[in-house]
Amino acid sequence: MCSTGCMGGAHCAHSQCIARKLASDCLCTGFDCAYAQSVTPNGTAIRAIRTMRSLRLADLAHSTGLSTSYLSRLERGEAGASDSTIRDIADGLAVPPADITRGADMASQPRQVPFPGTPEGEVFHYTPEEAAEFLPWSPRVLRMKAQQYAVPHNRGGGRITFTARDIREISDMTAVRPLPERAAA
């Protein structure tokens, strides 16, 4: 239960509840869902930028005023962050907030999604929304099937993603094949 007294249900929009959830758990397909549209920190990006700049967790913690344990949990995807915390981390890393977040609120431009058959698509990780453009299922069904381990997927950083290989395998699984012809007697 969060401080507002709600029970922290699947679609609670209170920041205390959102911080305890991963956006990949939301099965909502509506655009009005505050939980589905929330800005979440991208721990993998934070760690990559931090290590690329040869910063230790302690260095980033000192420049942002946050604890090293909190930053470590954030990088592993085990903690959420408020908008002001995301801005503090972005300032500490000297990058725009859009570089370290997932979500539309702080993103400056939409992500360019390559076709899975291209060389760029081979190394790209597609969200369920992006993968649904190439598959016969909705993003909600893709998430559900991935959570049940019914389709190949990745769970890097606690988020469900699909590679081009995963998309090809799912496409092969769902392909409609003609029945073999029977020999005339």
- Range(s) of the domain holding residue 88: 13-110
Q: Which residue has the higher pLDDT, 13 or 157?
A: 157
Asked whether residue 29 falls in the same domain as residue 106, the answer is yes
Asked whether residue 162 falls in the same domain as residue 142, the answer is yes
pLDDT of residue 159: 82
Describe the crossing of helices 83-93 and 57-64 by its angle, rounded to 10 degrees.
120
Highest-confidence segment of 24-28, 62-66, 103-107: 62-66
Domain boundary among 110, 130, 145: 110
C-alpha 145/C-alpha 112 separation (Å) is 25
Stretch 122-146: mean pLDDT, rounded? 90
Number of domains forming the structure of the chain: 2
CB 13 within 8 A of CB 35: yes
With bands split at pLDDT 50, 70 and 90, how would you rate the model's confidence at 23? very low
Asked whether residue 53 falls in the same domain as residue 74, the answer is yes
Domain boundary among 71, 92, 110: 110
pLDDT of residue 144: 92
pLDDT of residue 157: 63
C-alpha 6/C-alpha 1 separation (Å) is 6
CA atoms within 13 A on the CB side of 96: 7
pLDDT at residue 14 tops 50: no
pLDDT at residue 142 tops 90: yes
pLDDT of residue 39: 60
pLDDT of residue 182: 75
